[in-house]
Chains A and B, each alone.
Chain A
Amino acid sequence: MNNTNAKADTSLMQKEQSESVHRFTERSGDYYSAQFEKIQSSTSATLSFNLAAAVFGPFWGAARNIWGFFWLSTIALLFALVQLGRGLWGELGADKLAQAARLGSKSQEMAAKAQVALEAGAANAEALLRNSTNLQRAADKASAAANEAAAGAEQLVMFGGVFLVAVMVLQGLLANLVYEKKYCRWRADYSEKSGFSYANLLVGSLMLAVMLPLMLYRFTATKPVAWLVEFPANKSIFNSASSWLDSAFDTVALYGAGFFDGITSSIRVLLDGLEVVLVDTPWPVITLVILFMAWRLAGPRVAIFTVAALAYLAFLGYWEKSMATIALLGAAATLCILVGVPFGILCAKNRTVDSIARPILDFMQTMPAFVYLIPIIAFFGTGKPPGILATLIFGMPPVVRLTALGIKQVPPSIVEGALAFGCSRRKLLLDVEIPLAMTSILAGINQTILMCLSMVVIASLIGAEGLGTDVLMALQFAAKGQGLLAGLAILFCAMIIDRIVQGCFKPTGRPAD
């Protein structure tokens, strides 16, 4: 009973499928429905050969909307035809032949000279004669190579022909499998293109009509025209664009001088404050404060690490430079956080701001630092404040992104719960959203600090002195030991700051058990 039902179902399904395959293929529906059924009823790889696809490869792919098939088939076809063309019409060994002719004439020239010298009884006659025979030997070699290359033409034709046949067989075998996959996708998603399209066939043919002659010409002609080998670029476009940008930068630098100076001096105020605290304060005081902070905020383990790291900095004579670096980094990181966290919150709350900020952040992160160092020098000059600005550009994105992510990830149910009890937007942000996003914001701050530190060396290029300068010097003089020591000093600075900051913002409340 069940069995007959199942059988009836099967035949019904077959009928339905056949109808839908007809709709899908539009042409040769009978053929494809039979082939698809064969493919679908087999458990292993099926042998199903599509003659049309084998012969008309790219055209079949184009007409059937299978562009992947079209391209692969086109590339294989072009490769095979280029080999064939080179074998049939290409002047193989033409360059060698020319070389042989050149060498031969030179050798004859030399021989004539030798003859003259011999008759005159000159001393160099023998040497000239030797040269001439040498040249003649080289010429013979070249012409032999040319002959060999010309003989290789037959091999090329053979190889091209075999490759072409192989490609055709392969595309014939694969076509139905690929088409069946496409049919399955189409069945689930009607936006998948189906049917037989003359427009696509035309597009495919046009593309082949452009590509094939150009390829054959390029590879068979001895000396193809120059514009085909190298793009005929126009230098003047480049020159005018770059000089226009130059003048634009100059104009901005000129008219915005007050603005840029304002920024520079305000950064300098922050930096000077930090430098006074870190560099001018006696080192025992700083050490004590840092150790106490590490111990209270991050625990005894971090404190022990901090002792070791500070000892390294002090005994290797990096103390002053590291404090200057930390001041630089501290100024950059403070600015990043002061600007980045509120901006991240704004991005999370406002979709327009978010969609504008996203590409800008991408730009800031991916643009190589050396590129924006140039305009920064143009606008802000050299020294520490411009170095901090360059660091800002690179270090800001993580804190903005992760703050926005953290705020967006606050569960809507908790926000709703707070609102239901009359919570204002301000209180919601301060007492619900920011505490819940804290982990993410902290990760952002951490990332930002580390990114800022990695910019120390690059910033030292424009005069931001500190440990980066040491690395830069080491690079210039290939001083391996000095570079490594300075690099480790930078690393230790980063780790001390990172651990202390992490401990500082650890979420309040009892630890989870």
Chain B
Amino acid sequence: MTTDVIQLENVWKIFGDNSEQAMKAIRDEGLDKAAVLERFGCVVGIADVSFTVPRGEIFCIMGLSGSGKSTLIRHLNRLIEPTAGKIKVLERDMSALDDKELRGVRAKHIGMVFQHMALLPHRTVLDNVAFPLEVQKVPKFKRWEISQHALSLVNLDGFEYRLPHQLSGGMQQRVGLARALASDPEVLLMDEPFSALDPLIRHELQNQFVSLTKTLQKTTVFITHDLDEAIRIGDRIAIMKDGRLIQTGTPEEIVMHPADDYVADFVKGISNLKLVSAHSIMAQLNSDTVPADVDLGAAIRTDENTSLEELIDLSVTTDLPIVITDETGAEVGIVSKDTLLTGIKGKGDE
């Protein structure tokens, strides 16, 4: 039994009437996107995507519009059928489910939040949140009780009997989130949920969302076009371009070691102070790095996961280099003021 809640293996999605032949041609002849469009009139939406998401992780998929990220997330609850490849959610092979099973999985195990909320305009907030439970034929009173609780999780007590259009955009999106949480699903799919909101509300909702999913232990796939948002929210980030995942890693890995120029371009403007930790920039402890006249005994010691921001704070209080220790307390490296400055400047190798 693995802890991977979501597993994707070589998933392809080709749009168009001749998608099967196009898929075959890609397999046999290795056609590229442009050639497929020309020969079959088919558009390649998702190209050979594989990833896994372990339980409780927030997995961000970042890409610009048209990169296929929204298409990809819709494969996870089979709103879109893959042309090829395997998709497993909670140990279930999604393609093998029949209609009824699929509806059950969608209602019970996968919650989804949309960029444009997709609330039912003719229903009250409470009935909107209760919709997934209604689909599961939960009795009315029970589902209202549960929905009430879900609404209080997103701080929307007292708005139960309003209609969606009477609420602000941020509140509507919280209703969307409450609806996704109502049937207590293991998996949350977030399709650019905060993109349409103004920056202040967005920031507030991001924080609320992270603390909520962490306490509720939801496995989340989060789509965004905003790298800042991905870094703030994601445990891991995948960068998507033209239907392919071009790099997957922790925010720190992405910022420190961009896989190619495209990713590098993206992360250029990102501040690394909070992302990069001491072990990424520290020097080895040896005679080259430690000047003979320095007594390290008086130096400050800190954990190797200390961020650059904290290192700066420590560094202004002392003239000595800072000694870095691992979890066991053993000295593993040293950060001098020079190393720190180079680290802040970033990407070391530049």
A→B interface (CB under 8 Å): 411, 413-414, 416-424, 427, 431-432, 435-436, 507-510, 512-513
How many angstroms from the CA of A420 to the CA of B118 in the assembled complex? 10
Whether B122 pairs with A507 at a CB distance below 8 angstroms is yes
A512, closest chain B residue (CB): B165
Residues of chain B within 8 A of A431, CB atoms compared: 120
Residues of chain B within 8 A of A424, CB atoms compared: 103, 135
A-facing mask of B45-78, CB < 8 A → 1, else 0?
Answer: 0000000000000000000000000000000010
Whether B163 pairs with A419 at a CB distance below 8 angstroms is no
Query: Lowest 9 A-B CB distances belong to which pairs?
Result: A417-B118, A422-B107, A422-B106, A422-B103, A421-B132, A420-B112, A422-B135, A435-B122, A413-B118
Whether A421 pairs with B122 at a CB distance below 8 angstroms is no
Residues of chain A within 8 A of B120, CB atoms compared: 414, 417-418, 431-432, 435-436
Chain B interfacial residues counted at CB < 8 A: 32
Residues of chain B within 8 A of A427, CB atoms compared: 135
How many angstroms from the CA of A508 to the CA of B165 in the assembled complex? 15
Minimum distance in angstroms from B321 CB to a CB of chain A: 54
Best-surrounded residue of A419, A420, A421, A427 (most CB of chain B within 10 A) = A421
A422, closest chain B residue (CB): B107
Q: Which of B79, B117, B166 contacts A420 (CB 8 A)?
A: B79
Best-surrounded residue of A417, A508, A513 (most CB of chain B within 10 A) = A417
B→A interface (CB under 8 Å): 77, 79, 102-108, 110-112, 114, 116-124, 131-132, 135-136, 163, 165-166, 179, 183, 189
Question: Given A413-B114, A427-B135, are A420 and B106 neighbors across the interface (CB < 8 Å)?
Answer: yes
Residues of chain A within 8 A of B106, CB atoms compared: 419-422
A510, closest chain B residue (CB): B163
How many angstroms from the CA of A413 to the CA of B119 in the assembled complex? 9
How many angstroms from the CA of A509 to the CA of B166 in the assembled complex? 12
Residues of chain B within 8 A of A435, CB atoms compared: 120, 122
B176, closest chain A residue (CB): A417
Minimum distance in angstroms from A482 CB to a CB of chain B: 48
| Contacts A414-B118, A422-B106, A422-B135 known; 13 new A-B pairs at CB < 8 A | A411-B118, A414-B121, A416-B114, A418-B120, A420-B110, A420-B112, A421-B179, A422-B105, A422-B108, A422-B136, A427-B135, A507-B122, A513-B166
Residues of chain A within 8 A of B104, CB atoms compared: 422
Question: Given A424-B103, A436-B121, are A418 and B165 neighbors across the interface (CB < 8 Å)?
Answer: no
Whether B163 pairs with A420 at a CB distance below 8 angstroms is no
Residues of chain B within 8 A of A421, CB atoms compared: 106-107, 111-112, 131-132, 135, 179, 183
Residues of chain A within 8 A of B135, CB atoms compared: 421-424, 427
Minimum distance in angstroms from B15 CB to a CB of chain A: 16
How many angstroms from the CA of A432 to the CA of B108 in the assembled complex? 20
How many angstroms from the CA of A510 to the CA of B163 in the assembled complex? 8
A417, closest chain B residue (CB): B118
Residues of chain B within 8 A of A420, CB atoms compared: 77, 79, 106, 110, 112, 114, 118, 189
How many angstroms from the CA of A427 to the CA of B106 in the assembled complex? 15
Minimum distance in angstroms from B89 CB to a CB of chain A: 13
How many angstroms from the CA of A436 to the CA of B110 in the assembled complex? 25
Minimum distance in angstroms from A239 CB to a CB of chain B: 51
How many angstroms from the CA of A436 to the CA of B120 in the assembled complex? 8
Minimum distance in angstroms from B138 CB to a CB of chain A: 12
Residues of chain B within 8 A of A422, CB atoms compared: 102-108, 132, 135-136
How many angstroms from the CA of A418 to the CA of B112 in the assembled complex? 10
B105, closest chain A residue (CB): A422
How many angstroms from the CA of A427 to the CA of B131 in the assembled complex? 11
Whether B122 pairs with A508 at a CB distance below 8 angstroms is yes
How many angstroms from the CA of A56 to the CA of B104 in the assembled complex? 77
Residues of chain A within 8 A of B77, CB atoms compared: 420
Whether B179 pairs with A416 at a CB distance below 8 angstroms is no
Question: Given A422-B135, A512-B165, A513-B166, are A417 and B119 neighbors across the interface (CB < 8 Å)?
Answer: yes
Minimum distance in angstroms from B183 CB to a CB of chain A: 8
How many angstroms from the CA of A411 to the CA of B112 in the assembled complex? 17
How many angstroms from the CA of A418 to the CA of B77 in the assembled complex? 13
How many angstroms from the CA of A490 to the CA of B282 in the assembled complex? 93
How many angstroms from the CA of A411 to the CA of B164 in the assembled complex? 15
B136, closest chain A residue (CB): A422
How many angstroms from the CA of A424 to the CA of B136 in the assembled complex? 10
How many angstroms from the CA of A427 to the CA of B134 in the assembled complex? 10
Residues of chain B within 8 A of A417, CB atoms compared: 112, 114, 117-120
Residues of chain B within 8 A of A423, CB atoms compared: 103, 131, 135
B112, closest chain A residue (CB): A420
How many angstroms from the CA of A451 to the CA of B163 in the assembled complex? 35
How many angstroms from the CA of A431 to the CA of B137 in the assembled complex? 14
Between A and B, 11 residue pairs with Cβ closer than 8 Å are A413-B118, A414-B119, A414-B120, A416-B79, A417-B112, A419-B79, A420-B79, A421-B112, A421-B132, A422-B105, A424-B103
How many angstroms from the CA of A435 to the CA of B131 in the assembled complex? 15
How many angstroms from the CA of A411 to the CA of B183 in the assembled complex? 24
How many angstroms from the CA of A431 to the CA of B119 in the assembled complex? 13
Whether B131 pairs with A413 at a CB distance below 8 angstroms is no
B114, closest chain A residue (CB): A417
Residues of chain B within 8 A of A510, CB atoms compared: 163
A424, closest chain B residue (CB): B103
Whether A413 pairs with B122 at a CB distance below 8 angstroms is no
How many angstroms from the CA of A411 to the CA of B103 in the assembled complex? 21
Residues of chain A within 8 A of B103, CB atoms compared: 422-424
Minimum distance in angstroms from A417 CB to a CB of chain B: 3
How many angstroms from the CA of A105 to the CA of B10 in the assembled complex? 107
Residues of chain B within 8 A of A507, CB atoms compared: 122
Best-surrounded residue of A411, A413, A513 (most CB of chain B within 10 A) = A413
Question: Given A413-B116, A508-B122, are A418 and B79 neighbors across the interface (CB < 8 Å)?
Answer: no
Residues of chain A within 8 A of B123, CB atoms compared: 509
Residues of chain B within 8 A of A411, CB atoms compared: 118
How many angstroms from the CA of A377 to the CA of B121 in the assembled complex? 48
How many angstroms from the CA of A436 to the CA of B119 in the assembled complex? 12
How many angstroms from the CA of A419 to the CA of B189 in the assembled complex? 14
Residues of chain B within 8 A of A436, CB atoms compared: 120-122
How many angstroms from the CA of A176 to the CA of B146 in the assembled complex? 76
How many angstroms from the CA of A309 to the CA of B111 in the assembled complex? 55
Residues of chain B within 8 A of A509, CB atoms compared: 122-124, 163
How many angstroms from the CA of A235 to the CA of B343 in the assembled complex? 100
Whether B122 pairs with A418 at a CB distance below 8 angstroms is no
How many angstroms from the CA of A421 to the CA of B108 in the assembled complex? 8
How many angstroms from the CA of A427 to the CA of B103 in the assembled complex? 12
Best-surrounded residue of B104, B122, B183 (most CB of chain A within 10 A) = B122
Residues of chain A within 8 A of B119, CB atoms compared: 414, 417
How many angstroms from the CA of A72 to the CA of B232 in the assembled complex? 70
A415, closest chain B residue (CB): B118
Residues of chain A within 8 A of B110, CB atoms compared: 420
How many angstroms from the CA of A509 to the CA of B163 in the assembled complex? 8
How many angstroms from the CA of A59 to the CA of B179 in the assembled complex? 72
How many angstroms from the CA of A237 to the CA of B297 in the assembled complex? 118
How many angstroms from the CA of A421 to the CA of B118 in the assembled complex? 11
How many angstroms from the CA of A432 to the CA of B122 in the assembled complex? 9
Minimum distance in angstroms from B159 CB to a CB of chain A: 13
How many angstroms from the CA of A417 to the CA of B124 in the assembled complex? 16
How many angstroms from the CA of A416 to the CA of B118 in the assembled complex? 8
How many angstroms from the CA of A438 to the CA of B91 in the assembled complex? 41
How many angstroms from the CA of A411 to the CA of B50 in the assembled complex? 32
How many angstroms from the CA of A507 to the CA of B121 in the assembled complex? 11
How many angstroms from the CA of A513 to the CA of B166 in the assembled complex? 8
B116, closest chain A residue (CB): A413
How many angstroms from the CA of A422 to the CA of B103 in the assembled complex? 4
Minimum distance in angstroms from B178 CB to a CB of chain A: 12
Residues of chain A within 8 A of B183, CB atoms compared: 421
Residues of chain A within 8 A of B107, CB atoms compared: 421-422
